[in-house]
Amino acid sequence: MTARAPLPYGSWPSPISAADVARARLRLSFPTVAGDDVWWQEARPEEGGRTTVVHLQGGQRTDLLQAPWDARTRVHEYGGRSYLPVRTAEGPSLVFANYEDQRLHRLDEGDPKPYPLTPEPAVQAGLRYADFVLSPDGTEIWCVCEGHIAAPGEGEEGVAGIRRAIVAVPLDGSAAENAGAIRELVTGAHFYASPTPSPSGGHLAWVQWNHPRMPWDGTELRVAAVEDGKTVAPRTVKGGLTESAVAPLWRDDQSLYVISDWPGWWNIYQVGLHGESPQALYPAEEEFTGPLWQLGGMPYALLGDGRLAVLHGEGDMRLGIYDPETLDLIDLEVPYEHWLPQLSADGTTIVGIGGGPDVPPSVVRIDSTTGRVEGLRRELAEVPDVAYLSKPRAERLEGPFGRPVHAYVFPPTNPEATAPEGELPPYVVFVHGGPTSRVSTVLNLERAYFTSRGIGVIDVNYGGSTGYGRAYRERLRRQWGVVDVEDAVAAARALVDGGIADPARLAIRGGSAGGWTTLAAVTQNDVFKAATSYFGISELQSFAEATHDFESQYLFGLIGPLPGFERAYEERSPLNHADRTACPVLLLQGLNDPVVPPDQSERFAVALAEKKMPYAYLTFEGESHGFRRAGTVIACLEAELAFYGQTLGFEPRDIDPIDLTVG
């Protein structure tokens, strides 16, 4: 391929369109294996973000749910695994939570239409279900149930009206007309996860925690005996107020595995029925799981011979096999460098979601005996020529006070273009959401959309991110809006100090909590010349009052408890310092967002107008938290590229300018 004449950064021709990025928003998650059968969830942007369940059998891939059925649970608003394959006396079936009404439904093989297992919302208002498991006798679904019931005299649901329990739902459909047929197994805590019966069914294990803690702050692994369909004598066997214990997995009827961050890293332990003799299986300064944002995923799985398929690492997570007898952990040689904490195993077979810098997230099946690796489904059917994909470089940067800051640098990359001599590229600092989350090196066409056009990206795992131990994660405690901003700024300045980026053409962008960091950064300093906020938080007091229950007290750890820390909430909120905004801002907001209400973006737009700072505010009807529709993704990316062109001084190809409002 012959290189073209030098072209300014940002104007390079790219084969990666916004429509390609939208198609890559196909979301694969929560695979399950049983024998030769594999199932997984698949969210499709071209169908408005609808999630179906796919079944692979004998090489034949089948969509089990046709439109308008949408397998998506809203428990904790972030949902998780929304389906469970079951086998009854009548044959194979699929149980799933339907997004529109949040009822559990059952689809039997050969039937054209599912039928409900739980009551209509009018009968039991606002019930949601997640984290499904088949009861030991095979007649019920045991799961987490979340009830949103308006308090007496109120027209809308309030936090006080939200209650959760672990419940038993009959598989025969009797509860669809009789709500009393649903039995409560475990109650009393604010939150639950991972109901897990023992192999013989004599005990039930689960994870629970209470406000104001989040599941990465402190949880309890509880075990109770099961007698006559009821749980008795529950007790805590691992975890506590400052220990995150998650993902119970029974080893046998007398002991179970659990992942705990008691030593400062999420490591695997073995404990007895009464919490006796907790034993670290492989103590290491590595993480063996990630944060519990969604329910139903497992970061490890039990093989037929007693060994464990595990994920582990600092940063990106590798797949390995741990032998409890020899204490050896051996990584598998597979062409997938990072895995989501969503593994399933049966016999010698492992399935998971893996990817790499030039491999999109994929459903992967591995035979642990032969080493055979099969990619069953990719989020992106056709990957662009790797020559257009930037090779990430892991960086351990130095932040304020010598603090380490982890980041990945993605330089501009295009085989058809080169920049004029002496020109430095623009760079965008990507800030992930959460903030208790992390970014990996797995192929992300959204990054490639920019890097292939001559715009560099640095993706920052700022202090507070998971993957680097509890101490790194807790750097954000009471410091949200401080540490994350300092680390994002440190990443940008490191690029400038290294002669990598043009200091006059630095931008920052992020979604949700990343949008908060973006707005906080540009109201605190003048390093950035453009900022893009996807459904970002701008004002804390109203956010704390309006957001959903799962995160309603998250700010108590990130900022401080209320009442008591009102002044800190006021001082940290970007909206209260909008008059100091240092650069133009692009605001993108879904109008049906239950996590970050639209007024968070709208009020910031009004404040920018009063300051007469150029801005654009784009809203999207029907979009929730995290855009799922192809049209929305395309509109946002093209607007963002046009915005950077106008504010950072380059002309992107084939993109219409964006109208910026001034006053």
* Alpha-carbon torsion, ordered 210, 213, 219, 220, to 10 deg: -30
Residue 339 near residue 352, CB atoms below 8 Å: yes
| 428 closest CA partner among 336, 534, 356 | 534
For the chain, the first-to-last Cα distance in angstroms comes to: 48
**What is the SS3 assignment for 109-156?**
CCCCCCEECCCCCCCCCCEEEEEEEECCCCCEEEEEEEEECCCCCCCC
Q: Look up residue 413 and give its two tokens.
A: 């990359």
Residue 13 CB-density burial (10 A; 0-12 exposed, 13-18 middle, 19+ buried): middle
Q: Are 501 and 455 in contact (CB under 8 A)?
A: no
pLDDT for the residue numbered 3: 55
Could you give the CA distance from residue 111 to residue 347 in angstroms, rounded to a whole number?
30
Cα-atom radius of gyration of the chain, to the nearest Å? 25
Q: Say how many CA atoms lie within 13 Å of 275 toward its Cβ.
A: 14
Residue 150's pLDDT is what? 61
Q: pLDDT band at 25, cuts 50/70/90?
A: confident
User: How many residues are given for the chain?
Assistant: 663
* pLDDT digits 0-9 by tens, 406-443: 999 999 999 999 999 999 999 999 999 999 999 999 99
Is omega for the bond preceding 435 within 30 degrees of 0, making it cis?
Answer: yes
The answer on pLDDT for 114 being more than 60 is: yes
Q: How far apart are CA 101 and CA 99, in angstroms?
A: 6
Q: What percentage of the chain reaches a pLDDT higher than 70?
A: 97
| Mean pLDDT within 560-576 | 96
Is residue 511 within 8 A of residue 626, CB to CB? The reply is: yes
Please write the tens of the pLDDT for every residue from 32-51: 999 999 999 999 988 988 99
Q: Give residue 381's pLDDT.
A: 87
> Which residues have CB under 8 Å from 388's CB, separation 6+?
14, 15, 16, 413, 414, 415, 448, 452
3-state SS string over 408-439? Answer: EEECCCCCCCCCCCCCCCCEEEEECCCCCCCC
Q: Note the pLDDT of residue 124.
A: 55
Distance separating alpha carbons of residues 236 and 205, to the nearest angstrom: 10
ω into 68 cis (within 30 of 0): yes
Could you tell me which of 640, 642, 638 has the C-alpha nearest to residue 17? 638
Tokens of 550: 């799962």
Q: Whole-angstrom Cα distance, residue 628 to residue 661?
A: 27
pLDDT higher than 50, residue 155:
no
Tell me if 365 sits within 8 A of 351, measured CB to CB. yes
Task: From residue 82, give the alpha-carbon distance in Å to each of 95, 151, 295, 593.
Answer: 8, 28, 9, 20
Q: Is the pLDDT of residue 527 over 90?
A: yes
Q: Read off φ and ψ for residue 493, nearest 5 degrees.
A: -70, -30
Per-residue pLDDT, 129: 97
* Beta-strand pair 349-356/344-346: antiparallel
Is the pLDDT score of 157 beyond 80?
no
pLDDT at 49: 87
DSSP per position, 606-627: HHHHHHT--EEEEEETT--SS-
Would you state the structure tokens that stand for residue 254, as one six-digit string?
Answer: 């007398």
Tell me if 388 sits within 8 A of 415, measured CB to CB. Answer: yes
Would the pLDDT of 469 be above 60?
yes
Residue 149 clears pLDDT 50, i.e. is over it: yes
pLDDT in tens, 617-627: 999 999 988 89
pLDDT at 90: 83
Distance, C-alpha 460 to centroid of its chain: 16
DSSP sequence for 149-214 = -PPTT-SS--GGGEEEEEEEEETTSGGGT-GGGPEEEE-SSSEEEEEEE-TTSSEEEEEEE-TT--
Percent of the chain with pLDDT over 90: 89
Predicted local confidence at residue 2, as pLDDT: 55
